[in-house]
Amino acid sequence: MNLITATGLTKIYKRGSEEVRALDGVSFSIEKGDIAAVTGPSGSGKTTLVNIIGCLDNPSSGVLKIDGNEIFKDGASFSESELTKVRRKFFGYIFQKFFLLPTLTVKENILVPSVFQKELTVTQEKINEVLEILGIARRKNHLPYELSGGEMQRVAIARALINSPEILIADEPTGNLDSKRSQEIQEILTQLNKERKITIILVTHNPEFAKIGNKKIEMKDGKITVEN
């Protein structure tokens, strides 16, 4: 069953008088439980694509369906609040930069989404479970500056998991890590996918990392060149 279906997604930016087609009529589908690895050179439009999939941005035109719901249709712009509601329901995000709040402890950082999502109740078990999975239980009362880069990214992943999202958007999650830590993060993502059936959309330009994906989307100049 297709979890995400995109048809003719186009994103046009205006840069002065020049039009930039960051996405040029992209169509594809992702099934539930997939790890979709989006690769391609810089400026190929992969980040634009995942931002639209992740409802962080509106497409200029095209249709995006998530779990059967039409989120975007033919350039109808969504308001910030409406997008937020979709994001709350389906997505967790991790980025190259970890974006932890420096004044909050590990545990508090993980709980931040629950502060804004009233419908989300987080039990102690859930917190412990997430901390266990990511191997940061003993760090839960530490502040971000006391952690290593790998640990910070684990906290960011834990934070993305706290609302039990169906889809995890990971935009260059290992871009700031050495190869050993990258390996660990890769293993964690694979494990999450296997054990919890979380659909992962992974943006990377590391071909090794892309290998964990069962589905590959290669992009160039705003178009998909390979999809398998």
Partner 1 sequence: MNIFQISYKNLLRRKTRTFFTVTGIMLSAWVLVTLLGFNRGYENSLNNDIDAMGFQIILTAKGCPYEAATLMLKGGTGLRYMPQSIVADVDKSPEVSKTSAMLMHAEFDPNKGENGGTSIYLGIDPQTYPEMKPYLQFQQGAWFNENSQDEIVLGFEAAELEQREIGDLMILPGSETEFKVAGILKRTGTQDDGMIFLPLKALQKTFGKEGQLTMLGIQLKREADANLFEEELYKLQDVQVVSMAQVKNTIMSLVTSAKVIVLSIAFIAFLIAMFGVLNTVLMSVFERYQEIGILKSMGALPSDIFKMILIETALLCSLGAAFGIIFSLAFADASEKIIRYFLPFTPNGNLIAIDLQIAALSFAAIAAIGIIGGIYPSIRAAQIRPLEAIRAND
The residue ranges that bind partner 1 (CB under 8 A) are 51, 54, 56-57, 80-81, 84, 87-88, 93, 95-97, 99, 101-104, 108, 111-117, 120, 159, 163, 171
- Closer to partner 1 by Cβ: residue 88 or 216: 88
- Closer to partner 1 by Cβ: residue 162 or 192: 162
Phi then psi for residue 48, to 5 deg, are -55, -40
Enumerate the β-bridge partners of residue 95: 171
| In the complex, minimum distance from the CB of residue 214 to partner 1, in angstroms, rounded to a whole number | 26
Answer whether 223's CB lies under 8 Å from 25's CB.
yes
CA 132, 194, 186 angle in degrees (round to 5)?
A: 70
| In the complex, minimum distance from the CB of residue 159 to partner 1, in angstroms, rounded to a whole number | 7
| In the complex, minimum distance from the CB of residue 116 to partner 1, in angstroms, rounded to a whole number | 4
SS (H, E, C) 150-167: HHHHHHHHHHHHCCCCCE
Answer whether 10's CB lies under 8 Å from 26's CB.
yes
- Closer to partner 1 by Cβ: residue 64 or 194: 64
| In the complex, minimum distance from the CB of residue 61 to partner 1, in angstroms, rounded to a whole number | 18
- Closer to partner 1 by Cβ: residue 5 or 117: 117
| In the complex, minimum distance from the CB of residue 92 to partner 1, in angstroms, rounded to a whole number | 8
**Nearest C-alpha neighbor of 94 from the set 176, 21, 13, 207:** 176
Answer whether 122's CB lies under 8 Å from 162's CB.
yes
CA-to-CA separations, 15 to 22, 50, 78, in angstroms, rounded: 11, 21, 22
| In the complex, minimum distance from the CB of residue 47 to partner 1, in angstroms, rounded to a whole number | 8
- Closer to partner 1 by Cβ: residue 32 or 89: 89
**Nearest C-alpha neighbor of 11 from the set 155, 20, 3:** 20
- Closer to partner 1 by Cβ: residue 17 or 81: 81
